[in-house]
Amino acid sequence: MENIHPIFDRILDRSQKERLLKQRAAVIWMVGLSGSGKSTIAQALEKRLHQDGCLTQLLDGDNLRSGLNSNLGFSEEDRRENLRRSAETAKLFLNCGIITICSFISPTAEVRERAKSIIGEADFLEVHVKCSFDACAKRDVKGLYAKALRGEIKNFTGLDAPFEEPQNPWLQLNSEEESEEACVELLYTKLIQRVKTQQD
């Protein structure tokens, strides 16, 4: 590390970029089981914000695993590294003044706390998309639950790998009992008050 010389103190700061974009940046960190609706809600939220003139970036777990994190597997160590890199990426967008929507299972309190420490507590908006394992298994939009229940996928979150529900998220959306539209509306309504504060 002795040959690394960061220049953070000599580059344009975030507030200058937020003024240019007329928005306040934030990282919406959406967590929940596979199939809970995280990505679907995130996509709908991004479109809604875009219609309002907000500059956004959506970071999805599968997308990052096909590029930036393509060298990582699903061991506990690799999962932690996957989320560390994802949080560092989100922080880069945050510092550009961009509203960044992240969709990751983020199964444990430990990995979520680490992501929060990288991004910064003030800008880390944890959204728990709550949906039971059984309900997600019935949806099984990717066919993963069927494979996991047959023993073809090991360390599957919620089955033979833990999922620790967030205890005090910024917002909880119950996608098992509420429609996608209702979840998006609830999230949008709470978020827009925060990110639009610099529009006037």
106 flagged as catalytic:
yes
The Cα 104–Cα 59 span in angstroms is: 8
CA end-to-end span of the chain: 43
Task: Give Cα separations from 40 to 71, 121, 160, 169 (angstroms).
Answer: 26, 25, 25, 19
Tokens of 96: 């550009």
Count how many residues are written for the chain: 200
Residue in the structure block whose two tokens are 């949080």: 87
Which of 34, 39, 106, 175 is catalytic? The answer is 106
Vertex 65: Cα angle to 172 and 56 (nearest 5):
55
Q: 104 — phi, psi (to 5°)?
A: -140, 145
Spatial neighbors of 41 by CB under 8 A, at least 6 apart, are 30, 129, 173, 175, 180, 183, 184, 187
Where in the sequence numbering do the catalytic residues fall? 106
